Amino acid sequence: MYRTNTPNLENYWMPFTANRQFKAAPRLLASAEGVYYRDIDGNQVLDGTAGLWCVNAGHARKEISQAVERQLNTLDFAPSFQMGHPIAFQFAEKLAEIAPGEPGKKLDRIFYTGSGSESVDTALKIAIAYQRAIGQGTRTRLIGRERGYHGVGFGGISVGGLVNNRRVFPQVPGADHLRHTHDLARNPFTKGGLPEHGAELADDLERLVALHGAETIAAVIVEPVAGSTGVLLPPKGYLERLRATADKHGILLIFDEVISGFGRLGAPFAVDYFGVTPDIITTAKGLTNGVVPMGAVFTSSKVHDALMHGPEAQIELFHGYTYSGHPVACAAGLAAMEIYEKEALLTRASELATYWEDAVHGLRSRKNVIDIRTIGLVAGIELASRSEAAGARAYDVFVDCFKRGLLIRVTGDIIALSPPLTIEREQVDELMSILADALDRAD
């Protein structure tokens, strides 16, 4: 228990948390700087997760807080429906500069949202609206993938593939799923590139076309690297094959880059990393360095322009949020982009990737480790589950790490690591050393 007085924990209903368990033994972070948090007693905690995959430039960046303060004192809020403010356009122009996509297919039309979940629902709605605008109004079906995570809106859980997020709630009619690509038997401890086996799983889209009819399918959405389910890398050739099949059947391809966007893989976006251009990407998190909630959907001109039809006085897309293009979020985002650019953070993970990969694979012989996967500055470490208690072992490792000054993230019995892109090699060593000891201690 903490020596410092803990706040009253009763009223806050915590998200994605075992509330009763947490409140019986809380973990409370009080401040942060660089790659470290401090808990309420002042103990240092290495941030092995960039907050929640979002604090890419590290914590307490003065450039961002100063930009936010300036914006708050200039224009704290302005409506975005039938009104505009300069910084929203400036930020979109900046994002368009780094937007990925091959020539002629650059994803440089930007729609703002307030979060990753809103970005996903926005992208799905844009896809359906696009199909209708080009005379394909029967295409309303949405395809996701097993084990996918696309946030918690009804659209996102419908295409998502994590059972706990789905079983309680009804879903958008017509959603269906590709099979996931996780294959421990054929691709264990993949090192030095993408998993060899599994490109053929992209042909699952053909199966769903044969089952439902292409003329009913608007879009397919995948995370290029599945994050929340425990870091699953796309098999070699998989994304290319998915792109080709989607094209063949007039289906839009959406990459959910809420995690992979803004440098996590060692390139600005997964689109750049893999060299496969979808029609739409969704982003959030690193968009503002996690400092102010915000998301953005990037689309190609093809998608955008198809909707710019009809009488000019007509609203083209009946969609948007009170906080779309919030001026303070735009200020934080612009400042974050300046840092990313100045410190070359959007490619820094590529410099550290080999060191990181070697360090994480150094845990291979630790107790209960059955797989390790890395890409850029991301790692998934899969543990054998205790019989009758899936997730319990990784949870114990998580609590042990936190007590010893390291924040990791666990999902089931998979540990996910994604430190700030500013992390130094010694800090990577520190992370691995605490984690290795915790793995050895866990029964």
Ligand X SMILES: Cc1ncc(COP(=O)(O)O)c(C=O)c1O
Is residue 108 at the binding interface for ligand X, with CB under 6 A as the rule? no
For residue 136, the SS3 value is coil
Report H helices in 134-203: 154-159, 163-166
In one-letter notation, the amino acid at residue 132 is R
Q: In the complex, what is the shortest distance from the CB of residue 266 to ligand X, in angstroms, rounded to a whole number?
A: 18
- The burial class, CB within 10 Å (0-12 / 13-18 / 19+), for 215 is middle
Q: If binding is defined by CB under 6 A, does position 300 make contact with ligand X?
A: no
**Which span sits near ligand X by CB under 6 A: 32-40, 234-242, 256-264, 349-357?**
256-264
Q: Which residues pair with 410 in a beta bridge?
A: 415
91/149 with CB nearer ligand X: 149
Least distance CB 259 / ligand X (angstroms): 4
CA 8/CA 333 separation, integer angstroms: 33
**Residue 278 within binding range of ligand X, rule CB under 6 A:** no
**Least separation in angstroms between CB 113 and ligand X:** 9
Burial zone of 353 (CB within 10 Å; 0-12 exposed, 13-18 middle, 19+ buried): middle
Tokens 């086996």 — which residue? Answer: 197
Smallest distance from ligand X to CB 403, Å = 25
**CB-nearer residue toward ligand X: 119 or 190:** 119
Nearer to ligand X, 218 or 222 (CB): 222
Candidate list 259, 352, 434, 439; residue touching ligand X; CB under 6 A:
259
Give the separation between CA 364 and CA 370, rounded to whole angstroms: 8
Helices 345-361 and 425-441, axial angle in degrees (round to 10): 40
Candidates 117, 122, 158, 300: give the one binding ligand X (CB under 6 A): 117
* Exposure class string for 98-115: b at 16+ Cβ within 10 A, else e: bbbbeeeebbbbbbbbbb
Stretch that binds ligand X, among 93-101, 252-260, 344-352, 369-377 (CB under 6 A): 252-260
* Site pattern 121..160 for ligand X (x: CB under 6 A): ----------------------------xxx---------
Closest approach, Cβ 153 to ligand X, in A, equals 8
Site size for ligand X (CB under 6 A): 14
**Residue 293 near residue 115, CB atoms below 8 Å:** yes
| Residue closer to ligand X, measured from CB, 120 or 205 | 120
Residue nearer to ligand X on the CB measure, 398 or 400: 398
280 and 126 in contact (C-beta within 8 Å)?
Answer: yes
State which residue, 16 or 318, has the beta carbon closest to ligand X: 16
The β-bridge partners of 409 are: 416
Residue 230 Cβ, how far from ligand X at the closest point, in Å?
A: 12
CA–CA dist 8, 3 (Å, integer) = 15
DSSP secondary structure letters along 394-406: HHHHHHHHHHTTE
Query: Rule CB under 6 A: which of 210-229 touch ligand X?
Result: 223, 227-228
Which of 88/416 has CB closer to ligand X?
416
State the Rg of the chain over Cα.
22
Residue 116 near ligand X by CB under 6 A: yes
Min dist CB 117 to ligand X, Å, is 3
Determine the 3-state secondary structure of 373 from DSSP: strand
When asked if residue 258 is in the footprint of ligand X (CB under 6 A), the reply is yes
**Which is closer to ligand X, CB of 49 or CB of 277?**
49
- Contact residues for ligand X (CB under 6 A)? 115-117, 120, 149-151, 223, 227-228, 256, 258-259, 284
